[in-house]
Amino acid sequence: MFALDKSPSRKGVRIDFSNVCFTVRDRSTKNELQLLKSVTGTVAANRLTVVMGSSGAGKTTLLDVLACNLFGGGVVSGEVLVNGAPRRASEFAKISSYVLQRDVLLASSTVRECITVAALLKLPRTLPYNEKIARVDAILRELELEGCQHTLIGDDLLNIKGISGGQRRRVSVGIELVKSPKVLFLDEPTSGLDSEMAVSLIDTLVKLAAEGTTICTTIHQPNSMITSNFDFFMLLHAGSTVYFGPWAECVDYFAGHGCPCPQYVNPTDYYMSVLKERGDDLVLAWQKQEHQRRISTTDLEALSLTADDAHMNGGKLTAAEQEAEDQAVLQPAPKVAWWYQVYVLMGRMARMLWRNPVMFMSETAQYVFMGLFIGLIYLQLNDSLATGVSDRAASMWFAMAVLSFTPSYTAAVVWDRDRLLLRRESQQGMYSVTAWFAARTATILPMEVMETALFCVLMYFMVGYYLNVVNFLVFLAAFCMFQLISESIGLMCAIVTPSSTYAILILTFILLFLLSFSGFIVADVPVYFRWISKISYLTYAYAAVVQNEFNSVTFYTAGGEAVPGSQVLSGGVAGVSLSQVNNGLGVGENLAVLLGIAVGARSLAFAMLTSMAKLKRL
């Protein structure tokens, strides 16, 4: 019995598809392009079905259509049946898995951790933890990953050394095998593997198929040892079928149409070369032979039925028994709880920060440097009315500028890395987007508070603001909320743009615009720009920290006359005024507004993320 599934042999899922077409609109010419043209076939249980074709033939597109993995738009027509009933995409996705051609893995996780996280999130909540780990051990053993199970995945771009490309491919396959899917699609799973490992992987798929898993895969340049494992074979050319049927019959079929395979030549290599010259002719030949173009469901069921199936079923099932069994096969396992998804993701994100501290340390270094820099520029401010007022106001504005750009830019850059992994894992049902967002917020919030606190401590005491615990805590609270808002804005811009480059361009424009009307650079904001001040979070943050400081300090004129800072805020001092900062709200009220904006910005970022996920535009 295959180690990945210790349950008794199960009835597989049969997929019948007929006259499947897929059309997209060319973005440049606006013309319609038909990528699939009336493709008909069956993916039988207990058998390995392979789709091949030259580049652009439509093999990956067909796989995407059958797997409900179309996220880039387009129109699908034709019929797809699952165990004889119309396929329901939402239910079908729960019982199927898709191994993508491109490996999207977390560079800072080990091989074992990648598969373990998948097991914890994909396997039913009713399965004991030790059985989930046993499943992971079995996968590592079957895919020959035990020797590198504690090695990081790695990423050359991040300068993290890790496993080889072939091992990454096997990890991707292992992630999808954890839940023993009833249907497994694979897009060129042997790419990047050496010959021996490719054969081993195909042998694994054959064992899975023998136990009832429906297997459909595309393969690029298989050797003869791999092709000997084929059961059903489909060859595509320019979106049309050249051949579909048993692999054992394809050599005779092509020989009967003037394409005899030379002795000692791999048939698939020969057919691929023939398609370059006679592809259109072979498509027409297939279309003219109706009896060869369609393989009957009855024939496929007969071919799919193993001796074990016959023994288990005691012969043929009645129609009612068959229908009941088919429906039982399609029932998905219960998903893990939302809170558990958050828990597992938080653990993974924490490990990522710990093992790949470059981003965290570089950002922290920026906060330390800027805190020291501002502190040295405005070191121990005096209480002179002539310079103390302007320097205090300038230092606080400078600090706001730092906490505007740094967290927002970081959020945009990090999102580029997170986007691909979130897209793959959420679309394949590992966890919900809401769980990811909650885990991310819970993970980065303590880090952001720590960075902001470090920045504020350095700056506050070096500059020499009013020494009082309450004043410092108000200062810290204002900047913590301010940083969270800036990070949320950076995340929002990143979510709606295709890359961090565009996000940073938009962020620069937005933040410079808001900083200009925060109450420092422009004393008298023009009427047509005052609405910006009203909606800007910088206005309320700046008002809170300035009022917090100036309401507590006293300035002195050159003649030694004492002037309360509150008088400066109210505009009662000739030539020295910060009345534009006085927005009619007190310190507590400005903090309350800032808190509301922080919650609102985070909620808006969440809404944008979930909307983009629903629109399949992550």
Greater confidence (222 vs 159) lies with 222
Query: 356: how many CB neighbours lie within 10 A of its CB?
Result: 19
Q: Report the b/e string of 482-512 with b at 16+ CB within 10 A.
A: bbbbbbbbbbbbbbebeebeebbebbeebbe
Strand segments, DSSP code E, in 108-188 are 183-187
Write the pLDDT tens digit of every residue in 440-455. 999 999 999 999 999 9
Contacts of 453 (CB under 8 A, 6+ apart): 476, 480
Q: What pLDDT shows up at residue 299?
A: 52
- State how far the Cα of 115 lies from the Cα of 541, in Å rounded to an integer: 45
Cβ 233 vs Cβ 252: under 8 Å: no
pLDDT at 319 over 50: no
Write the pLDDT tens digit of every residue in 102-153. 888 998 899 999 999 999 999 888 889 999 999 999 999 988 899 999 999 9
Q: What pLDDT shows up at residue 314?
A: 37
Q: What pLDDT shows up at residue 290?
A: 54
Q: What pLDDT shows up at residue 247?
A: 93
3-class secondary-structure state, position 121:
helix
Q: DSSP label at 586?
A: -
Contacts of 580 (CB under 8 A, 6+ apart): 519, 522, 523, 524, 525
pLDDT at 3 over 60: no
Q: What are phi and psi of 145, to 5 degrees?
A: -110, 5
Q: What token pair was written down for 460?
A: 């506050």
pLDDT at 157 over 80: no
Write the pLDDT tens digit of every residue in 564-601. 988 888 876 756 667 667 788 899 999 999 999 999 99
Q: What pLDDT shows up at residue 29?
A: 77
Write the pLDDT tens digit of every residue in 169-181. 889 989 998 988 8
pLDDT at 617 over 70: yes
pLDDT at 470 over 80: yes
Q: How much of the chain exceeds pLDDT 90, in percent?
A: 53
Q: What pLDDT shows up at residue 180?
A: 82
Q: What pLDDT shows up at residue 154?
A: 87
Write the pLDDT tens digit of every residue in 329-379. 444 455 789 999 999 999 999 998 888 777 778 888 999 999 999 999 999
Angle at 412 between CA 168 and CA 338, to 5 degrees: 65
Burial class (CB in 10 A: 0-12, 13-18, 19+), 575: exposed
Confidence label for 316 from pLDDT (cuts 50, 70 and 90): very low
Q: What pLDDT shows up at residue 385?
A: 87
Confidence label for 513 from pLDDT (cuts 50, 70 and 90): confident
Greater confidence (559 vs 185) lies with 185
Q: What pLDDT shows up at residue 576?
A: 66
Write the pLDDT tens digit of every residue in 208-240. 888 888 999 999 889 889 999 999 999 999 999
Cβ 137 vs Cβ 176: under 8 Å: no
What is the chain's Cα-based Rg?
Answer: 32
Query: 190: how many CB neighbours lie within 10 A of its CB?
Result: 26
Angle at 38 between CA 36 and CA 41, to 5 degrees: 100
Confidence label for 201 from pLDDT (cuts 50, 70 and 90): confident
pLDDT at 603 over 80: yes
Domain spans of the chain, in order of start? 15-329, 338-614
Cβ 555 vs Cβ 385: under 8 Å: yes
In 3D space, the residue among 333, 332, 329 whose CA is nearest the CA of residue 11 turns out to be: 329
Q: DSSP label at 147?
A: G
Confidence (pTM): 0.82
Q: What token pair was written down for 512?
A: 């410079």
Q: What pLDDT shows up at residue 485?
A: 96
Give first-to-last CA distance, the chain, whole Å.
40
- What CATH code is assigned to 15-329? 3.40.50.300
